[in-house]
């Protein structure tokens, strides 16, 4: 029987895998939109601003993690941000591999390598590695509880769920749903640990402690509590966590009209969507049955089972491959844990099949693959580092710099809407408005507040795109932000430049 790997050995493996991936594609690709959203926020935190209060943001945790490491390195650039995110990614991969390795009795190292490749290939897009890693860390936290459901571990599980919510309130909700399911499961034929109500109380106390950074910000940072409450109200007002897309069910793939490779990928994507629901449903039924029959179940499998449906919600909230990647890890970890407990003659073929399917789906989304040849991508300079990006992105970056030099020189303010928060980070300027990614419809009162900010900042340049998001006319900027759109039309003058497809360039009327 092969000896178990030590946690330090698994940590080294996870670090080597993440570092290798970073060497391959760390400087590949760049997004002024989604990645720029995280980059801009981290830059502002490094300058003393507060997420959510001072600018539209994710929950605070990821900004302070990134800002802490980037400040330590003395670098506010995009590569420093990617390094900070990769450090968090390595933590998530370590926990995932530890869960897989501990589940098997006769685990081969090659099985762990296959598991590492499977997991890391689904770790995209880059700006969402916090969310992906958090889903794995929650599986680890709840597996730790199931392994020995003592009062202390109930409290610690709550702490980790609360801490996850500091990085993303949706992870707090998903972790809470999984935790409550597990505590109910543990209450069946309970042989040890606290009773159900006591367990919930201990866990809830832990959640409060874990969420304490945000609670302290609400108490001590002027204006944060109001802004945080308003962000929740806006989410409830919109009634969804994302702009929905149709689910790409495998039976809807038009195989006849697609190249074979693309058709296989589309079918696999649909099957993975189906599998997230199937695993989440069937595995819960199975672990409850095992509990009722007093049969042992892997703690990691129990944790993955109770988190699968909550994270499937995220995958289905905007049913594309990017969001599937952020909701698939309970399924992946659960399958690898199940297979790892089987004899080698079974677990290796299963791991190879899952790894192959994962590679087939995900390789085209990797920046290193997308920029694998010089004909596809070109070199540009961003924050003092060389990035290899597609030609369209290179044109956007060059055009932004040219327009800023012409219409907003010497650090003058400019306004970009709705898609490019990274433009502010690229040029190291402060957004004149709170909202930096203007996708969702906003009330007249909100827009009037943003117009007042524009009046105060006096931007000399404005870039507007009025394209229909997801092909929906009601999501054009002129519809979702009609008052701001009208303000720009009345107080800025259209320029003849057509630097970017879909964007119109305006200069302030008082500019020559």
pLDDT in tens, 436-484: 999 999 999 999 999 999 999 999 999 999 999 999 999 999 999 999 9
Q: Which residues share a beta bridge with 492?
A: 508
Domain ranges of the chain: 7-227+235-368, 377-508
pLDDT-based confidence at 3, cuts 50/70/90?
low
Which alpha helices (H) appear in 224-343, and where do they start and end? 224-238, 260-292, 299-317, 321-327, 329-340
pLDDT of amino acid 2: 56
Tell me the average pLDDT across 168-179. Answer: 98
> Would you give the DSSP letter of residue 411?
T
Q: What is the pLDDT of residue 342?
A: 86
pLDDT category of residue 6 using cuts at 50, 70 and 90: confident
Separation between Cα atoms, residue 406 and residue 151, nearest integer Å: 64
Q: What is the mean pLDDT of residues 267-278?
A: 98
Is residue 220's pLDDT more than 90? Answer: yes
Lowest mean pLDDT segment, chosen from 20-29, 364-373, 377-386? 364-373
pLDDT for the residue numbered 372: 87
Predicted pLDDT at 235: 81
Q: Determine if the peptide bond prior to 148 is cis (ω within 30°).
A: no
Using pLDDT thresholds of 50, 70 and 90, give the confidence band for residue 511.
very low
Average pLDDT of the chain is: 95
Lowest average pLDDT, out of 92-96, 157-161, 172-176, 234-238, goes to 234-238
Residue 105 pLDDT > 70: no
Look at residue 251 and tell me whether its pLDDT is greater than 70. Answer: yes
pLDDT at 178: 98
Q: Give the whole-number percent of the chain exceeding pLDDT 90.
A: 89
Going through 466-502 in order, the beta strands assigned E by DSSP cover: 492-494
CA distance 201 to 193: 13
Say what the pLDDT of residue 192 is: 79
Contact 191, 160 (CB under 8 A): no
Q: Enumerate the β-bridge partners of residue 462.
A: 415, 506
Question: Residues of 250-260 as b/e, b for ≥16 C-beta within 10 angstroms?
Answer: eeebeeeeeee
Percent of the chain clearing pLDDT 70 (strictly above): 97
Average pLDDT over residues 197-216: 98
Q: What sign for the dihedral angle of Cα 120, 122, 128, 132?
A: negative
pLDDT tops 60 at residue 103: yes
Task: Spell out the SS3 assignment of 356-369.
Answer: HHHHHHHHHHCHHH
Predicted confidence at residue 190, as pLDDT, reads 84
Q: What is the mean pLDDT of residues 502-506?
A: 91
Task: State residue 311's pLDDT score.
Answer: 98
H or E stretch at 139: helix 129-147
Query: DSSP letter string over 149-206?
Result: --HHHHHHHHHHHHHHHHH-HHHHHHHHHHHHHHHHHHHTT--SS--HHHHHHHHHHH
The answer, yes or no, to whether residue 1 has pLDDT greater than 60, is no
- Phi, psi of 464, deg, nearest 5: -125, 135
The torsion region of residue 401 among left (phi > 0), alpha (psi -120 to 50) and beta comes to alpha
**What is the per-residue pLDDT for 512?**
40
Q: At what angle do helices 299-317 and 329-340 cross, to 10 degrees?
A: 150
């Amino acid at each position: 029987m092969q000896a178990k790997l030590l946690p330090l050995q698994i940590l080294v493996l996870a670090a080597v895998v993440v570092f290798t991936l970073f060497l391959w594609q760390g400087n590949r690709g760049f997004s002024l939109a989604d990645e720029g959203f995280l980059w801009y926020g981290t830059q502002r935190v490094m300058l003393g601003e507060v997420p959510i209060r001072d600018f539209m943001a994710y929950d605070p945790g990821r900004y302070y993690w990134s800002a802490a490491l980037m400040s330590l390195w003395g670098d506010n650039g995009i590569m420093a941000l990617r390094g900070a995110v990769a450090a968090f990614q390595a933590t998530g991969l370590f926990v995932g591999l530890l869960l897989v390795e501990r589940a098997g009795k006769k685990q081969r190292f090659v099985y762990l390598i296959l598991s590492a490749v499977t997991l890391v290939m689904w770790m995209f897009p880059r700006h969402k590695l916090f969310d992906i890693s958090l889903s794995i860390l929650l599986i680890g936290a709840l597996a730790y509880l199931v392994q020995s459901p003592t009062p202390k571990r109930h409290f610690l599980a709550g702490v980790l769920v609360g801490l996850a919510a500091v990085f993303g309130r949706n992870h707090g909700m998903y972790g809470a749903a999984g935790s409550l399911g597990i505590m109910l499961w543990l209450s069946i034929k309970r042989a040890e640990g606290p009773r159900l109500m006591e367990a919930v109380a201990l866990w809830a106390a832990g959640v409060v402690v874990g969420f304490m950074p945000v609670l302290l910000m609400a108490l001590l940072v002027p204006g944060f509590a109001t802004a945080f409450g308003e962000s929740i109200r806006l989410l409830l007002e919109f009634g969804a966590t994302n702009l929905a897309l149709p689910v790409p069910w495998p039976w809807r793939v038009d195989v006849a009209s697609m190249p074979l490779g693309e058709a296989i990928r589309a079918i696999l994507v649909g099957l993975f969507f189906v599998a997230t629901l199937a695993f989440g449903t069937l595995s819960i039924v199975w672990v409850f049955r095992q509990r009722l029959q007093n049969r042992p179940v892997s703690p990691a499998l129990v944790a993955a089972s109770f988190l699968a449906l909550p994270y499937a919600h995220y995958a289905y909230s905007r049913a594309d491959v990017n969001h599937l990647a952020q909701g698939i890890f309970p399924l992946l970890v659960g399958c690898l844990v199940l297979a790892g407990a089987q004899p080698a003659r079974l677990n290796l073929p299963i791991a190879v099949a899952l790894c192959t399917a994962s590679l087939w789906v995900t390789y085209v989304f990797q920046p290193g693959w997308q920029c694998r040849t010089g004909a596809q991508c070109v070199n540009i300079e961003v924050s003092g580092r060389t990035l290899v990006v597609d030609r369209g992105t290179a044109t956007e970056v060059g055009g932004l710099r040219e327009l800023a030099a012409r219409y907003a020189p010497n650090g003058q303010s400019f306004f970009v809407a709705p898609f490019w928060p990274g433009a502010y980070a690229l040029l190291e300027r402060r957004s004149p408005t709170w909202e930096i990614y203007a996708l969702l419809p906003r009330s007249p009162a909100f827009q009037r507040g943003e117009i007042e900010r524009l009046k105060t900042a006096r931007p000399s340049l404005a870039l507007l795109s009025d394209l229909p998001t997801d092909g929906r006319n009601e999501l054009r900027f002129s519809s979702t932000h009609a008052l701001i759109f009208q303000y720009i039309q009345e107080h800025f003058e259209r320029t003849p430049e057509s630097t970017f497809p879909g964007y119109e360039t305006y200069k302030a009327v008082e500019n020559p």
